[in-house]
Amino acid sequence: EIVLTQSPATLSLSPGERATLSCRASQSVSAYLAWFQQKPGQAPRLLIYDVSNRATGIPARFSGSGSGTDFTLTISSLEPEDFAVYYCQHRSTWPLSWTFGQGTKVEIK
């Protein structure tokens, strides 16, 4: 089973700063790597799918990149509404299953 490890656990930044979140897989994964945002008391929301594609309505300040075992979510300039927990996710095709990372909390410094 592929394990996703996110770092850092917590990122303390100010509005306007750049956020760089890492997701490392225990072995090379396919292009199915997604990122979700979750705010307190809310369901997760899809931000990025297939490594680098933004879902509908997601601002351009969010971008995804990476390949193999190392993936990155970048928020170019933090807005107040971006302070949340972010999860990466991978789909394995055999056996068919989905795995989430443990999350990175982006908090206001």
Partner 1 sequence: QMQLVQSGPEVKKPGTSVKVSCKASGFTFSSSEIQWVRQARGQRLEWMGWIVVGSGTTNFAQKFQERVTITRDLATSTAYMELSSLTSEDTAVFYCAAGGSYSDFDYWGQGTLVTVSS
Using CA atoms, how far apart are residues 109 and 94, in angstroms rounded to an integer?
Answer: 42
| Residue from 13, 61, 63, 100 in contact with partner 1 (CB under 8 A) | 100
- Select the span of 16-24, 28-36, 61-69, 76-84 touching partner 1 (CB under 8 A): 28-36
Alpha-carbon distance of 9 to 5, in angstroms, equals 10
Applying CB under 8 A, among 9, 14, 16, 43 the residue interacting with partner 1 is 43
Is 71 one of the binding residues for partner 1 (CB under 8 A)? Answer: no
Mark the segment that binds partner 1 (CB under 8 A) among 9-17, 32-40, 60-68, 74-82.
Answer: 32-40
Q: How many residues bind partner 1 (CB under 8 A)?
A: 25
- N-terminal to C-terminal alpha carbon distance within the chain: 36
Place of tokens 């089973």: 1
| Of positions 26, 98, 107, 109, contacts partner 1 by CB under 8 A | 98
Instruction: Say whether 81 sits in a helix, a strand or coil.
Output: helix
Tell me how far apart the alpha carbons of residues 2 and 98 are, in angstroms, rounded to a whole number: 9
